[in-house]
A and B are shown apart, each in its own frame.
Chain A
Amino acid sequence: MKFLVLALLVLLLPLVAHEGYLLNVLVFVGIHSILALALNLLLGYAGQISLGHAGFFGLGAYISGILTATYSLNPWLAMVIAAAAVTLLAFAVGFPILKLKGHYLAMATLGLGIIIYIVFNEAVDQTGGPSGLSGIPNLSIGAYSFDSDMRNYYLIWTFALVAIGLSLNLVHSRIGRALRAIHDSEVAARVIGVNARLLKVQIFALSAALSAVAGSLYAHTMTFVAPASFGFNFSVELVTMVIIGGLASIYGSLLGAALLTVLPELLRAFQDYDIIIYGLLLILMTMFLPGGLAKGLPQAASYLKTKFGKGSSADA
């Protein structure tokens, strides 16, 4: 039901927001939603932190970009190769680093993200270094090229909706239960036969692969990539989206991504003070909505209802 409402919203939103700038913001909300969703599977459901997800996002973007712009590969094929390569990398890295817990895992994934970021900057021959890589082609189906904001909007939100649907299925299955079990009590999960180590690595890989797909979409939509988009700051921003939206909430990821994408745009009116207001809002939200928007909004609504009586509940 929620999913249908969302799909309808996605379909109809361009009727209101058909202007280039707004549409562009919505494209970013879509990309960020896929990323927040990917990270939430790992952070919210399996309870494992990653401060390196911007790296996987960047790898998806760069692999897609280089294979198409430099080696003229088909963009769809490039996207598949990027996802496969990042999956392999995540498996290779995941087995050793997911043995770590808490702060140590945060440090290890942070290190991974930084290494990837350095490669983007230093492998100038392939990546173009700090000045970036341009000339990446748009995705296309036959002669139909996704070369306008409107077309990209529908392309990216199709991917986002599919990702949301698949994730919803996953978290309501035996795998999803096992993930939440690891989160609640790893020792109990192990003694009833949940292979926590393997499952964590698998989810890490799935999460990385999904981030890489978002990266490919980003590259083919923007037709230009530069390292600055994939740094440590962005990894932290992704974690913030997940936490603000609501840990272990699929729709929460969407809310978090939307808020953190739209808010900076709205705050532009405050010019130089925008970053202060942005920070304050985030602090207040974590203080007063500890379960994130996904849990906090319904709570806030029912609070307002009881406080102001039934009469004004429509306004709440």
Chain B
Amino acid sequence: MLEVRELTQRFGGITALEDVSFNARKGDITGVIGPNGAGKTTLFNIITGIYSQTSGSVHLQGEDISRVPAEMLAARGLVRTFQNIELFGNMSVLENVMLGLHTRSSSGIFSCMTKMPWHLKEERNIRQQAFEWLEFSGITDLAGQKAANLPFGKGRLLEIARAMAVNPSIMLMDEPAAGLNNSETRMLAALIRKIRDTGVTVVMVEHDMELVMDICDRILVLNLGRMLAEGTPREIQENPAVVAAYLGEG
């Protein structure tokens, strides 16, 4: 599904990632873990076209997407969520999700200005589908609220609803549990499984080990920009190098 080959990223003299390769399989939930500064977010920023890598390549369903700019990836089925939640704060919850359907609609400036019939029909479809994704995330009752006024946990659910509205084949989630309390994290785990069950492949960076071990099918461990280990949750838990990195030994 998503294949990363020999990825290296240098910022000036600092090497953020070196020779990282992995393969997120279709239908899996893949976790990316590692101590702070391991290069996890850098990895996401390269995959999603926000940074350009120094060398190596990224392939989505066999196609090289290394040089594809961020705004073109959604149409190819790749979306992401952000660690600090990036919402459109001045817009309503519903409008945020409607924006997720942007690539699945096509009315141009002129048909929008002149309210052409096909544009109005499209608008109705967008609205209806947006409501379906609000329901998916369980936040239908918040539809009319201004996104900036949502509590953090609800904002996370909205960000996920918006990402699902893009109709992705793969979703990258950057620390989805960050800032959530225990019950919110449990709901998030259920939601991520629900996302996987709709056929969407999930790759997530996460610090919450309990969550990672609970829902991930495979785990990739990064440390200081290098791959430390890859395997099932059980394999990772038993890997001495991983234990050492986390406990600061060796």
Report the number of A-B residue pairs with Cβ-Cβ less than 8 Å: 102
Closest-CB distance, A132 to chain B (whole angstroms): 34
Stretch of B1-9, B52-60, B100-108, B187-195 at the chain-chain interface: B100-108
Chain B interface residue count, Cβ-Cβ cutoff 8 angstroms: 40
Closest-CB distance, B52 to chain A (whole angstroms): 14
Stretch of A8-16, A118-126, A192-200, A229-237 at the chain-chain interface: A192-200
Could you mark each residue 93-107 of chain A with 1 if its beta carbon is under 8 Å from any beta carbon of chain B, else 0? 000000000000000
Could you mark each residue 170-184 of chain A with 1 if its beta carbon is under 8 Å from any beta carbon of chain B, else 0? 100111111011011
A306 at the interface (CB under 8 A from B): no
Instruction: Name the contact of A188 in the complex, choosing from B88, B103, B122 (C-beta under 8 A).
Output: B88
By the criterion CB–CB under 8 Å, are B86 and A169 in contact?
no
Instruction: Name the contact of A166 in the complex, choosing from B48, B102, B113, B126 (C-beta under 8 A).
Output: B113
Residues of B54-68 whose CB lies within 8 A of A: none
B114 at the interface (CB under 8 A from A): yes
B166 at the interface (CB under 8 A from A): yes
Question: Given A174-B105, A185-B87, is A191 in contact with B80 using a C-beta cutoff of 8 Å?
Answer: yes
By the criterion CB–CB under 8 Å, are A194 and B114 in contact?
no
Q: In the complex, A197 Cα to B49 Cα: how many Å?
A: 15
Instruction: Name the contact of B112 in the complex, choosing from A174, A183, A196, A197 (C-beta under 8 A).
Output: A174
By the criterion CB–CB under 8 Å, are B87 and A206 in contact?
no
Q: In the complex, A175 Cα to B50 Cα: how many Å?
A: 23
Query: In the assembled complex, which residues on chain B have CB atoms less than 8 Å from the CB atom of A192?
Result: 74, 79, 99-100, 102-103, 162-163, 166
Chain A interface residue count, Cβ-Cβ cutoff 8 angstroms: 29
A150 at the interface (CB under 8 A from B): no
Most chain A CB within 10 A, of B72, B88, B89, is at: B88
Question: Given A178-B102, A192-B162, is A166 in contact with B123 using a C-beta cutoff of 8 Å?
Answer: no
By the criterion CB–CB under 8 Å, are B88 and A202 in contact?
no
Could you mark each residue 156-200 of chain B with 1 if its beta carbon is under 8 Å from any beta carbon of chain A, else 0? 000000110010000000000000000000000000000000000
Chain A residue at smallest Cβ distance from B172 = A191
Stretch of B24-32, B90-98, B208-216, B221-229 at the chain-chain interface: B90-98
Could you mark each residue 254-297 of chain A with 1 if its beta carbon is under 8 Å from any beta carbon of chain B, else 0? 00000000000000000000000000000000000000000000
Closest-CB distance, A86 to chain B (whole angstroms): 16
28 contacts between A and B (CB under 8 A): A169-B114, A174-B105, A175-B109, A175-B112, A177-B98, A177-B102, A180-B88, A180-B91, A183-B90, A184-B90, A185-B89, A188-B82, A188-B88, A190-B70, A191-B50, A191-B73, A191-B80, A191-B86, A192-B79, A192-B100, A192-B103, A193-B72, A193-B102, A194-B99, A195-B72, A196-B71, A203-B109, A206-B109
Q: A185-B88, A188-B82, A189-B71 are in contact. List 7 more A-B contacts (CB 8 A).
A: A174-B98, A175-B107, A177-B99, A188-B86, A191-B74, A194-B102, A203-B109
